[in-house]
């Protein structure tokens, strides 16, 4: 796959935030190690989610808040591929778009950043009615359930903005909850006061993973991106995305997961909460997958398998359709188990409460 031939400059779409640019540059660096003579140019833009900062994400009530402008640029050929935080990417992409790579996943857990006056505290030891900032229904529902002595308030903006609000002496926040992956990529791991373990907080679908979106028909770009696929990250994220897709969820209801791949066994836990966290529906599913052999050779693709995408992910020489199909089916099966337990009713009630509060 190593192609040192000179070619036209490859244009890479990215949001303008510091974290987005760090992530985009990381992907480009990984590609330059494989294709050292290829040239890349970053094309930045603001998305709707970057512009509307006075409302919580669920109250904005639209899909693709952080991706629509980037995908339009991809569709009209202004860029050749786009780097996303996978958790921001809808489970159904526009027609003709696909995920050409999912890179090795950073820590998917949530992290607590305490204000300076509470630097020696944890969430459980904060004083009663301490205010925690988060824009995520998933995080707020779990906090309300597990730590009812705390108060939750919405906080928006990029990482720099939210940290500035946290450290405002006249501000209300005792702590904010952020994705650990973002803080680590920014080089701010020392700001993390507490990592939330899975028994305290499940994480968002795709959290910690970077996804690279391209045009499905662009075989040249697909071949360039293909070596970036990470087996574990791809299979766990396909499973998680299949779970969310089957539920029909997004940022409009508290939905969370955790997943792992050990040897060839894929395990996923999924959960749905009411907005106040008092109702919880959860289950765990696991399945054995057909994975590459011990010598690293991927299983042969079935010659009779109809070409398709798996939650928008393109099969690659590193990850076969058989493996992706197993991951996709497991996520769908877990969602069906939750639906049998009335998860859709809980999600519908959450959406109605959000609409009523607008």
Catalytic residues: 88
> Are 100 and 222 contacting, i.e. CB atoms less than 8 angstroms apart?
yes
Residue 34 corresponds to which tokens in the numbers above?
């494989």
Q: Please state, in angstroms and rounded to a whole number, the distance separating the CA atoms of residues 220 and 210.
A: 20
Q: Please state, in angstroms and rounded to a whole number, the distance separating the CA atoms of residues 13 and 8.
A: 16
φ, ψ for residue 227, nearest 5 deg: -65, -15
How many Cα atoms occupy the beta-carbon half-sphere of 132 within 13 Å?
29
Q: Which residues contact 14 (CB under 8 A, 6 or more apart)?
A: 20, 21, 23, 24, 42, 43, 44, 45, 70, 82, 83
Best CA proximity match to 200, nearest among 243, 264, 248, 150: 150
* Residue 239 buriedness (CB in 10 A; 0-12 / 13-18 / 19+): buried
Best CA proximity match to 183, nearest among 44, 85, 65, 51: 85
> Are 179 and 48 contacting, i.e. CB atoms less than 8 angstroms apart?
no
Virtual torsion, Cα 214, 216, 218, 221, nearest 10 deg: 40
Residue 231 corresponds to which tokens in the numbers above?
């087996």
Q: Measure CA of the first residue to CA of the last residue in the chain; give whole Å.
A: 51
């Amino acid at each position: 796959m190593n192609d040192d031939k000179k070619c036209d400059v490859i244009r890479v779409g990215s949001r303008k935030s510091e974290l987005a640019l760090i992530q985009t540059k990381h992907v480009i660096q990984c590609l330059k190690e494989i294709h050292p003579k290829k040239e890349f140019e970053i094309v930045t833009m603001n998305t709707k989610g970057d512009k509307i900062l006075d409302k919580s994400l669920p109250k904005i009530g639209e899909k693709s808040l952080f991706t629509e402008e980037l995908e339009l640029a991809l569709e009209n050929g202004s860029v050749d591929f786009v780097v996303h935080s996978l958790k921001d990417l809808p489970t159904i992409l526009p027609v003709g778009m696909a995920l050409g790579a999912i890179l090795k996943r950073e820590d998917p857990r949530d992290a607590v950043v305490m204000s300076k006056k509470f630097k020696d505290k944890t969430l459980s030891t904060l004083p009663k009615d301490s205010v925690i900032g988060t824009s995520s229904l998933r995080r707020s529902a779990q906090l309300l359930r597990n730590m009812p002595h705390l108060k939750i308030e919405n906080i928006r903006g990029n990482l720099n903005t939210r940290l500035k609000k946290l450290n405002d002496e006249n501000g209300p926040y005792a702590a904010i909850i952020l994705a650990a992956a973002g803080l680590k990529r920014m080089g701010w791991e020392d700001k993390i006061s507490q990592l939330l373990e899975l028994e305290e907080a499940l994480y968002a679908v795709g959290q910690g993973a970077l996804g690279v979106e391209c045009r499905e028909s662009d075989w040249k770009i697909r071949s360039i991106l293909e070596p970036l696929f990470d087996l574990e990250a791809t299979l766990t994220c396909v499973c998680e995305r299949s779970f969310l897709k089957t539920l029909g969820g997004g940022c409009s209801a508290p939905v969370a997961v955790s997943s792992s791949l050990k040897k060839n066994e894929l395990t996923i836990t999924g959960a749905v909460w009411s907005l106040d966290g008092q109702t919880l529906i959860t289950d765990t599913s696991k399945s054995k997958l057909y994975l590459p052999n011990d010598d690293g050779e991927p299983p042969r693709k079935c010659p009779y398998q109809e070409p398709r995408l798996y939650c928008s992910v393109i099969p690659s020489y590193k990850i076969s359709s058989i493996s992706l199909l197993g991951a996709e089916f497991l996520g769908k099966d877990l969602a069906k188990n939750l639906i049998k337990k009335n998860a859709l009713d809980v999600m519908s009630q959450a959406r109605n409460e959000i609409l009523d509060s607008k």
